[in-house]
Copies of this chain bind each other. A is one copy, B any other.
Amino acid sequence: MEPGPTAVLLLVCPDQPGLVAAVAQVIASHHGNIVHAEQHIDRQSGRFFQRVEFELEGLDLERSEIAGALRPVVERFAMQQDLRFSDEVPRLALLVSRQPHCLYDQLARWRMGELRAEVPVVISNHEDHADGARAFGIDYAYLPVDPDDPASQEVALLDALRAYEIDVVVMARYMRILSPTVIAAFPNRVINIHHSFLPAFTGARPYHQAHERGVKLIGATAHYATDVLDEGPIIDQDVARVSHRDAVDDLVRKGRDLEKTVLGRAVHRHLEHRVIVYGNKTVVFD
């Protein structure tokens, strides 16, 4: 039996007694059935984080009335809130350059129904993967970079994201740095996969750097892109064992599996509204 639609409430505020009771009380008084609730208190900063997911069926409020019902509590505790509905499906754009493994992996997840999103377009600075995208019935926007005028590609990119009414941008091994303008247009909604265990090996050619340093594990990191390269809030990371036998090409090959898996988990978590960004860190409710 497929569960019905739910509301997801993400809350952040200064920690203080009575918070959990106050929020739960509002939902209970309207006959909401909580299916998932998780809190986190960061003792260092004194912040309270909460994710509450409750069923819409049985609730004696319309969707549009929920925010109003919560307002007294939100104001009393100075909460930042974010209210989502599980059946409001965001629109996601996949950005890719030459290496298509993350692209194909995301497309396959999407076709299998693993991503709670619509994927209307793949955008790339190369023509290579047009057939691949179209095989999945998805538009392909080829936006080449003019070396004499790189900025114009960024304008075209932003135009495309707007034209397709995109909510979430996934950089599936898109090897260009997005301008602050694009980042600002999608705050905490641009997910990038970096092919190292950040903060080790930022910047270009991380597998070459890792090989040079002689590490015994390689990593991949999914994070929200910010204006500072490879410094955004980390959503997920993972590693794989390597040895002296592995040349750079082997690191690249082994790393691809990491990148696919870590990006897959991060996008899934984001689309289920399980990630709260706070400062330069994330709270990820499993």
- Whether A217 pairs with B244 at a CB distance below 8 angstroms is no
- Whether A21 pairs with B24 at a CB distance below 8 angstroms is yes
- Whether A35 pairs with B41 at a CB distance below 8 angstroms is yes
Interface on chain A toward B: helix, strand, loop, or mixed SS? Answer: mixed
Q: Does A65 contact B (CB under 8 A)?
A: no
- Whether A43 pairs with B247 at a CB distance below 8 angstroms is yes
Whole-angstrom distance between the Cβ of A273 and the nearest chain B Cβ: 16
Q: Does A241 contact B (CB under 8 A)?
A: yes
Across-interface contacts of A126 in B (CB, < 8 A): none
- Whether A215 pairs with B198 at a CB distance below 8 angstroms is yes
Of all chain B residues, the one with the shortest Cβ separation from A231 is B213
Given contacts A34-B20, A37-B20, A43-B247, are A234 and B215 in contact (CB under 8 A)?
Answer: yes
Contact pattern, A 124-162, Cβ under 8 Å of B = 1, otherwise 0: 000000011001100000000000000000000000000
Q: Does A104 contact B (CB under 8 A)?
A: yes
Residue among A22, A215, A233 with max Cβ neighbours from chain B (10 Å): A215
- Whether A257 pairs with B253 at a CB distance below 8 angstroms is no
Across-interface contacts of A76 in B (CB, < 8 A): none
- Binding stretch for chain B, among A77-85, A184-192, A276-284: A276-284
